[in-house]
Every structure is written in structure tokens, then in C-alpha cells.
């Protein structure tokens, strides 16, 4: 098992990111005065830009890596931003199984209708939803974040580690933990895959956060 830990992490494919880092180094090579000033300003601007950097989650190192997922057409263009960002609804209010089961789950239509039989009933998307509700059919949502069948991932354990057993972590801020693997969904309408969710992505995070390394924890 120990030899698995010592595999150089660059074997795991995330070439886009590392290529970017290397070219950044090449840019930094001329370290003359005006260049340094320029870079300090640019980097400072990035850090200070509101919303560009996530708030900190205590006792956790967020996983690195990005991915450009294709836009997935959903039956209703569900606005995550309106719910999670504007109205500040907790992720786990709708994805309620995340805290106690392997899958986060999609809420039953009755949960949507719990609010939307009263709120914003005149909006076209809500009308669409009401149609499904009247037909007694759930909207055929499509899965965006899917890991292969040979991977066993549990939301429950990850939430336990990063939220419920994490001192100084407020459950209100759970979106920041979700964003580790799902990106900033609260800035999107329908969710889009923005993290690679490859084995390398998982492993780097397990390495940084002292996660288990046994193969049979995730594969079997």
C-alpha cells in the first residue's frame, strides 16, 4: 500500500493545469523591477476580487484541479443561483440525503411544490414544474456529476469529516464544502461539471487532508 502513496502525483492526468503552471513560471523568469510590480498588482487584484476566492473551510485543504464540463440540458433550467445565492437556502435543505447516505439525491417534486405552490407561481419555469406535478411525474433530471460504477463515494462520510465533525465549521457554510467537488454551484443556474472528479483529483485531496489510502475504501 505504501508504494501507492509514493507514486508521483503528476502521473495522474491533469495536464492542463500543470502546463499552465509551467508557463506561468516561464513568464515569471524576467524578474526585473517593473515586471515584479506588475505581477504583485495582478495577483493582489485576483485575491481581493470579491467572489473569486472561496471562504476558508477550517481544517481542510481544498482539492486542486479544474474541468470544463459540457452544458447538460435539463428538463427545467433550474436556477441554483436564485435558491442558494440570492435566497441563501442551504444545499442540504433540498439535497437532504447527503448527510446520511452515499448519494446527495434530488429532492422529490413535492419538496419543490412545498414552496412553489405559493411562491412565484406565475414564472414560466414554475408553470413547467406545476405541469409535471399535475401529471404526477418527476421532471427527468439528468445526472451531471457521475463517477464510474467501480468507484464507491459516500457523501455522508465526507460531510462528517468536513462539516459535522469539523470544529469551527458552521453548517450554514456547507456550500463551501460542496464546492470542493461541485464548484460554485450557487453561481450557476443548472449545475455544470467544473471539477475533474478523477482518481488523481480524489487522491490529491486525500493526501492533503489525511484521508484513507486503502484501495478497497473506494474500489471493490
Partner 1 sequence: MSLKNVFTDWSRYRKGIEEGGFHDYEHMWGMAVDLNKCIGCNACAVACYAENNLAVVGEEKFYKGQAMHWMRIERYWDEPDLGEDRVKEFNHHGANFIPMMCQNCNAATCEPVCPVAATYHTPDGLNAQVYNRCIGSRYCSNNCPYRLRFFNFYSYYESSWPEPLHMQLNPDLTVRDKGVMEKCTFCVQRIRAAKDKARREDRKVRDGEFLPACAQTCPTGAITFGDLLTLHTPGGGVGETKVAQMWRDHQVELGKTRQTKQNPELRGYRVFEGLNTDPCVMYLERVREV
Interface residues toward partner 1, by CB under 8 A: 1-4, 149-150, 152, 154, 156-157, 160, 214-216, 219-220
Which residue number, 99 or 125, has a Cβ lying nearer to partner 1?
99
Neighbours of 30 (CB within 10 A): 9
- Closest approach of Cβ 211 to partner 1, in Å? 14
- Closest approach of Cβ 93 to partner 1, in Å? 21
- Closest approach of Cβ 143 to partner 1, in Å? 15
**Residue 190 DSSP SS3:** coil
Which residue number, 101 or 121, has a Cβ lying nearer to partner 1?
101
- Closest approach of Cβ 102 to partner 1, in Å? 9
Please give the Cα distance from 219 to 199 (Å, whole number): 11
Helix axes 109-116, 124-135, angle to 10 degrees: 130
Which residue number, 163 or 194, has a Cβ lying nearer to partner 1?
163
Which residue number, 33 or 150, has a Cβ lying nearer to partner 1?
150
CA 156 from chain centre, in angstroms, equals: 15
CA distances from residue 10 to 6, 68, 86, 196 in whole angstroms, order as listed: 11, 20, 39, 15
Amino acid at each position: 500500500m505504501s508504494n501507492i502513496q509514493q507514486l508521483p502525483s503528476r502521473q495522474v492526468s491533469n495536464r492542463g493545469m500543470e502546463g499552465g503552471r509551467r508557463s506561468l513560471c516561464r513568464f515569471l523568469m524576467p524578474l526585473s523591477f517593473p515586471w515584479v510590480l506588475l505581477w504583485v498588482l495582478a495577483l493582489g487584484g485576483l485575491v481581493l476580487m470579491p467572489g473569486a476566492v472561496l471562504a476558508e473551510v477550517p481544517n481542510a485543504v481544498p482539492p486542486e484541479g479544474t474541468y470544463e464540463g459540457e452544458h447538460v440540458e435539463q428538463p427545467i433550467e433550474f436556477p441554483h443561483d436564485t435558491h442558494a445565492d440570492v435566497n441563501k437556502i442551504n444545499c442540504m435543505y433540498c439535497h437532504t440525503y447527503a448527510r446520511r447516505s452515499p448519494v446527495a439525491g434530488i429532492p422529490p417534486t413535492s419538496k419543490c411544490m412545498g414552496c412553489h405552490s405559493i411562491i412565484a407561481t406565475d414564472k414560466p419555469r414554475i408553470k413547467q414544474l406545476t405541469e409535471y406535478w399535475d401529471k404526477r411525474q418527476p421532471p427527468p433530471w439528468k445526472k451531471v456529476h457521475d463517477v464510474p460504477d467501480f468507484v464507491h463515494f459516500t457523501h455522508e462520510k465526507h460531510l462528517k469529516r468536513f462539516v459535522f465533525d469539523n470544529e469551527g465549521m458552521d453548517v450554514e457554510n456547507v456550500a463551501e464544502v460542496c464546492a470542493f467537488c461541485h464548484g460554485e454551484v450557487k453561481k450557476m443556474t443548472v449545475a455544470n461539471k467544473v471539477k475533474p472528479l478523477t482518481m488523481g483529483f480524489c487522491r490529491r485531496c486525500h493526501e492533503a487532508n489525511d484521508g484513507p489510502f486503502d484501495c478497497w475504501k473506494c474500489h471493490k
